[in-house]
Amino acid sequence: MTEPVQESGESSSFGQERDPARVVAFSDAVIAIAITLLVLEIHPPSDTSHLLHGLAELWPSYLAYAVTFMLIGQVWANHHIMFDHIRSADRLVLFLNTVLLMDIAFLPFAASVLAEAFRDGHGQRTAVVLHGIAFELAAVLFNVIWWHARHDRRLLATTIDAAGVTAISRRFQLAVVWLGVGILLGALLPVLGVAVISAFILYYWLPIAGEIARARRRRDGGGRA
């Protein structure tokens, strides 16, 4: 038995509920700009007479670019996962998502600081912590938005069941812990902090099994009909 879908435009304690399509479109635009700006922080060597050596010395910029690009890519993917199941957005969702986008727009700067610190050999701990905190804030905001949306299932669509909600919640909660550990380790040993956060990238591209269980059951059931 499916839950009744409330009409878009219904009012709540947090204002009128709206179709989240524009939220997703605006978010995609901000994320696309932020992820594109990353490459602008990689400046070509000024001394072209030793170009190969100069390019090799830019390895901190390549590292910061790759790690941050893939992490922002995960932010984009998880943002879609979340809003695939949010049927309407009230003003609190709009506000929290705006704060999330403000944090995402900051990430190219954090990546630039990280690259500069490793290139100069100074301030590496501070740079890793700054970079990690920027993503930690994004992880916290994901959890808050999802918690608010799933509260009483008022903002959620019927495309996801309780098991799927729990699976996404656990994935988002794990991100807070994982990045937090990376920040703490980075404050002690910068290279280890970067390694832990990089390992986070590999794990988080795996599918959320609980999220797709209902869709699989529905597909299998339709095949037998």
What integer pLDDT is reported at residue 116 of this predicted model?
A: 94
Question: Cβ atoms within 10 A of the Cβ of 133, count?
Answer: 16
Report d(CA 37, CA 41) in Å as an integer. Answer: 7
* Tens-digit pLDDT profile for residues 28-47: 999 999 999 999 888 888 88
C-beta of residue 88 within 8 angstroms of C-beta of residue 19? yes
Phi, psi of 134 (to 5 degrees): -60, -40
Of 37-51, 74-88, 165-179, minimum mean pLDDT range: 37-51
Overall size of the chain counted in residues? 225
pLDDT at 59: 93
* Average pLDDT score over residue span 77-89: 91
* Extents of the domains making up the chain: 16-224
Residue 160 in this model has a pLDDT that exceeds 90: no
pTM: 0.83
| Window from 1-5, 31-35, 97-101, 131-135 with minimum mean pLDDT | 1-5
**Greater pLDDT, 219 or 117:** 117
Q: What tokens appear for 52 in the block? A: 């190969």
Those residues whose C-beta lies under 8 Å from the C-beta of residue 198, and which sit 6 or more positions away, are 67
pLDDT of residue 153: 79
State the chain's mean pLDDT as an integer. Answer: 86
pLDDT digits (tens, 9 = 90+) for 125-157: 999 999 999 999 999 999 999 999 988 778 888
The β-bridge partners of 222 are none
| Measured distance CA(131)–CA(142) in Å, rounded | 17
